Chains A and B, each alone.
Chain A
Amino acid sequence: SQTIHQWPATLVQPVGSPLSLECTVEGTSNPNLYWYRQAAGRGLQLLFYSVGIGQISSEVPQNLSASRPQDRQFILSSKKLLLSDSGFYLCASDRPVRRELFFGEGSRLTVL
Chain B
Amino acid sequence: GQSLEQPSEVTAVEGAIVQINCTYQTSGFYGLSWYQQHDGGAPTFLSYNALDGLEETGRFSSFLSRSDSYGYLLLQELQMKDSASYFCAVLMDSSYKLIFGSGTRLLVRP
Chain A positions within 8 Å of B, measured between CB atoms, are 32, 34, 36, 42-46, 49, 51, 59, 90, 94, 98-106
Contact = CB atoms under 8 A, between A and B. Distances in A.
A94 B43 CA distance: 13
B43 A32 contact: no
A44 B50 contact: no
Interface residues of B, number: 23
17 contacts: A32-B96, A36-B100, A42-B102, A43-B102, A43-B103, A46-B97, A46-B98, A46-B99, A51-B96, A98-B48, A99-B30, A100-B33, A100-B48, A101-B33, A104-B42, A105-B41, A106-B41
B91 interface: yes
B87 interface: yes
Contact of A99 (B43, B87, B91, B102): B91
Given A99-B33, A99-B48, 9 more contacts: A32-B95, A34-B98, A42-B102, A43-B100, A45-B100, A51-B96, A90-B43, A99-B50, A103-B42
B22 to A, nearest CB: 12
Pairs of residues from A and B, 5 with the lowest C-beta to C-beta distance, nearest first: A103-B42, A43-B102, A44-B100, A100-B45, A99-B48
Contacts of B102: 42-43
A101 B98 contact: yes
Nearest to A36: B100
Contacts of B50: 99
A40 to B, nearest CB: 11
A44 B87 contact: yes
Contacts of B41: 105-106
A22 B61 CA distance: 35
Contacts of B99: 46
Contacts of B91: 99
A44 B44 CA distance: 13
Contacts of A34: 96, 98
B96 A103 contact: no
A98 B50 CA distance: 10
Nearest to B98: A101
